[in-house]
Structure 1
């Protein structure tokens, strides 16, 4: 808001300042208070009464007469020296020439009352409505700018309005601006700048600001709180119709194209085995190397034998060394057993040398060393026995994984695709005394009809089913290896018939269930020996164990095959225990379960290598 006077005259030393017409002063802003300018103090009066001498007439204050004895500079509290006249305070006396610059409320001359009087002292009546807000003079007409945030909603919108009657739900929030007000002093004011800039008083109570106040936040604006979506767990549908016996085991080896929208488990495609190449002549460049870890010092060894059977949890090594120098490279010391790495045709094993024996003859020393794979570290004498009991429900896979905590080993238990299945052990059921981690893991695998399969060189072990598919379903099952007759060097068999069992009674002891597992399509009249185990606490584990026991019976033979050890990228490669193999013989094709594998090498370097496997073949319908 601005005010335009008729004529504004400022008294400056050396002449008059006449601004251009019209002169405009913008007093928009805030007013902090009012105090008299510090240049005039009307409350100080002189205490002397003598008239001053004629020479002091120029320093006489304009508002009273000074006595004669005051001419010598006597102060109110004593008689001062003449020399004190040079350091009088500036407010004790004013030169006569400054009388023309007196403020309007002092004693002004006649010419000051008319010519230099500020024209804005008498404000028109229309400006009275802009009185400052701190003096209770606000007129009722100014309330018309008040914002209302709770307008009444029409009746038709009563069902869709917000709960808190907010307005402008979708409008951007705007800040309210503070309106400036015009300050009207009670009397005319005169500004004396004396040719310089205006400097406010240091400790004054009145300051004038001509700057526009910044935009500040006004009252709280509406927000779209009523349009937010609540976040909470999704509603569970068809909770009562789910199957109570857990996840189903996928039986299809390849995708069938049928979608199962209600199945949430993983879908694993079992890749069929690679077809071996049938050639007239096979040329294999065998390569054998034995080094001591971690320095990888080459070791001269002969008669190397590596093997494992289906019921073992570690690979074994046997080799011959010549000379005490070679023996000292692998002989155990205060740090424990030494590790050796054996590489045969690209397949790598790592062994711990546990024992050695020697034979000395005149001019000849020969030693035989034996070792095991690193999974032996989970058994005696390396792992101390311990006891445990579970205080809460726990599943078998988690219980086996807990045995490997802080050991560096990892467990792979594919309970959905390969098996064996996982099950729950209630509180108090999973208990044992003085058992090593490997004993506990092997016992859990045996409870479900599975076996422990160690890795060749890494700290890993897997739980595999002894019979990935029942014997009577081998003809339709996906095999792990295909062995053609063209690569079989030698073949032998041993007939080992067993009763043709068709049922098995499996039960827990202190905890668990009792299940009579019967082969489908049979009367179950030839049961296998009953099985009792502490950790059989579910029907799924009892069924898996019963199938494994029934598969051990029937007319069967143990077939031994000698074949080359092909590299990993060439089929069939290395055949390991618990793998199902399809043997394509000259006159027939049959399937069998690998029970053991043995690799022999005559020496290091370019050596003669042979792989010997033992297969369990069943002569039954569907096998």
Structure 2
């Protein structure tokens, strides 16, 4: 495989020479962070902010595209050479401070959560997909003060145990459950990726134990609008309770149940397994792995057996080495021994 790296400035698509690129993404963060090392220090002037705000770049690694805002830079001067490093974030940052203003809102009509997310993005140029449990929020139950659009959407997602994820390339975001499938269903679901251990160049593991909760109480906070739900893991006694969760948006049993399901998915014996693998470009052949994103379900096949893990973080790194390009992705998988394998 011949690796390829391309960085261009947007919207004029002016090529920018980079010696290295690192992209970090997590399921607990709404966007990616970017670190760049300029190969040609004279190009710094092309990436400094303009009157329209921070510069935007498009990064393509083995055919996979990311876009970013370039927000800061630092210079390095030392004997025999110098360098310039730049940092940035996903373009979704334009919906957050310091770029987006804080706003005030109180709903006066019933709205579904998906509708409320769409309303937050009106006239921003961004779109959203809502891919978790939806329900109707009564008038007056959704309100905030001095809150940016992205913070508001994050609060809407959190009500049912969801998270916000930025599209790697497009001006779009997605609201998804923190656990799209509960760990006890992972073995039954078709994985998003299959990783064979012979493509893994490095592996590390960190154990984690959580109480074996089998029940949780989820409650709405507003009198006359909220509901209280006892959510129990099916087939279990429902006697060891996780800490109670609440939100003014919990107004239906479906919302409370989904919040409880996500809470009870994080229990028992677990491990965070970090795998370093190549980033194969498409079309993929058997045994090759494309870009792995947070919340993707990964099946790992090795000599000791097959197991499943949920990707919770990914770091993609590209660097030039003696005129060759090396591209690797480091994926962190949340493995559940108690409820999965």
For the residue of structure 1 that corresponds to 2:83, the secondary structure is: strand
Provide, for residues 126-168 of structure 1, a one-character-per-residue CA deviation record: whole Å limited to 9, x for no partner.
Answer: xxxxxxxxxxxxxxxxxxxxxxxxxxxxxxxxxxxxxxxxxxx
Higher strand proportion (structure 1 or 2)? 2
**Quick one: distance in 2 between partners of 1:489 and 1:499?**
33
2:68, 2:90 within 8 Å by CA — same for their partners in 1?
yes
Match of 1:501 in 2: 213
Q: Distance in 1 between matches of 2:41 and 2:19?
A: 15
Q: 2:127 aligns with which of 402, 410, 414?
A: 410
Cα deviation code 1:234-261 (max 9, x no counterpart) = xxxxxxxxxxxxxxxxxxxxxxxxxxxx
CA pair 495-389 structure 1, distance change in 2 beyond 3 A: same
Equivalenced residues, count: 335
1:222 matched residue in structure 2: none
Match of residue 45, structure 2, among 311, 320, 328? 328
Deviation at 1:621, TM superposition (A): 4.3
Query: Pick from 254, 257, 263: which aligns with 1:540?
Result: 254
Task: State whether residues 74 and 86 of structure 2, in contact with CA within 8 Å, keep that contact through their aligned partners in structure 1.
Answer: yes
Using the alignment, how far apart are the partners of 1:564 and 1:328 within structure 2? 33
**Residue 469 of structure 1: CA displacement?**
1.5
Q: What is the match of residue 133 of structure 2?
A: 421
- Mapped to 1, the partners of 2:339 and 2:216 lie a distance apart of 19
Q: Shift in Å at residue 293 of structure 1?
A: 2.0
Given that residues 378 and 436 in structure 1 are in contact (C-alpha distance below 8 angstroms), is that contact kept between their aligned partners in structure 2? yes
Instruction: Report how far residue 572 of structure 1 moved.
Output: 2.6
Structure 2 distance, partners of 1:285, 1:306, is: 20
Matched, 1:597 2:309: no
Aligned-residue offset at 1:480: 1.6
Unaligned 5+ segments in structure 2 are none
Q: For 1:240-389, what aligned pairs fall within 5 Å after superposition?
A: 284-321=1-38, 324-361=41-78, 364-389=81-106
Of the candidates 306, 321, 335, which is equivalent to residue 617 of structure 1?
Answer: 335
Give 1:599 deviation, angstroms.
0.5
Residue equivalent to 1:453: 165
User: What TM-score results when the alignment is normalised by the length of structure 2?
Assistant: 0.94
Contact map agreement 2:268 2:339 (CA 8 A) in 1: no
**CA contact under 8 A between 2:193 and 2:299: conserved in structure 1?**
yes
What secondary structure sits across from 2:279 in the alignment?
coil
Runs ≥4 residues deviating over 4 A: none
Conservation of the 8 A alpha-carbon contact between 2:20 and 2:38: no
Change (3 A) 1:568 1:456: farther
Candidates 542, 553, 564, aligned match of 2:267: 553
* Structure 2 residue aligned with 1:564: 278
Partner of 2:113: 396
Aligned to 2:294: 577
Contact 1:288 1:606 in 2 (8 A): no
Q: How far 1:296 sits from its partner (Å)?
A: 2.3
Q: Contact conserved, 2:18 with 2:40, CA < 8 A, in 1? A: no
1:568 touches 1:574 (CA, 8 Å); kept in 2? no
* Counterpart residue number, 1:523: 237
Question: SS at the partner of 2:45?
Answer: helix
Aligned position for 2:326: 608
Q: Structure 1: where are the runs of 5+ without partners?
A: 1-283, 415-419
CA shift at 1:334, angstroms?
A: 2.5
- 2:296 and 2:311 in contact (8 A); partners too: yes
Which of 148, 158, 162 is the equivalent residue of 1:436? Answer: 148
1:467 aligns with 2:179: yes
Q: Which residue among 461, 470, 484 is the counterpart of 2:196?
A: 484
Instruction: State the 1:486 CA deviation.
Output: 2.5
Q: Deviations over 1:57-95 (max 9, x none)?
A: xxxxxxxxxxxxxxxxxxxxxxxxxxxxxxxxxxxxxxx
User: Matched residue of 1:427: which SS?
Assistant: coil
Provide the rounded CA distance (Å) in 2 between the counterparts of 1:560 and 1:385. Answer: 38
The superposition leaves residues 147-190 of structure 1 with CA deviations (integer Å, 9 ceiling, x where unpaired) of xxxxxxxxxxxxxxxxxxxxxxxxxxxxxxxxxxxxxxxxxxxx
Higher relative contact order (CA 8 A, sep 6+): 2
Query: Quick check: which has more Rg, 1 or 2?
Result: 1
Counterpart Cα distance in 2 of 1:527 and 1:470: 18
User: What is the CA RMSD across the aligned residues, in angstroms?
Assistant: 1.6
Q: State whether residues 323 and 365 of structure 1, in contact with CA within 8 Å, keep that contact through their aligned partners in structure 2.
A: no
State TM-score, norm by structure 1: 0.52
Question: How much does 1:376 deviate?
Answer: 0.9
Map Cα deviations across residues 444-463 of structure 1 (whole Å, 9 max, x no partner): 11111111121111111111
Residues in 2 aligned to 1:494 and 1:297: alpha-carbon distance in whole angstroms: 43
Superposed displacement of residue 344, structure 1: 0.4
* 1:393-415 superposed Cα distances (whole Å, 9 cap, x missing partner): 1110000000111111111113x
| 1:321 shift after superposition | 2.0
**1:34 aligned residue:** none
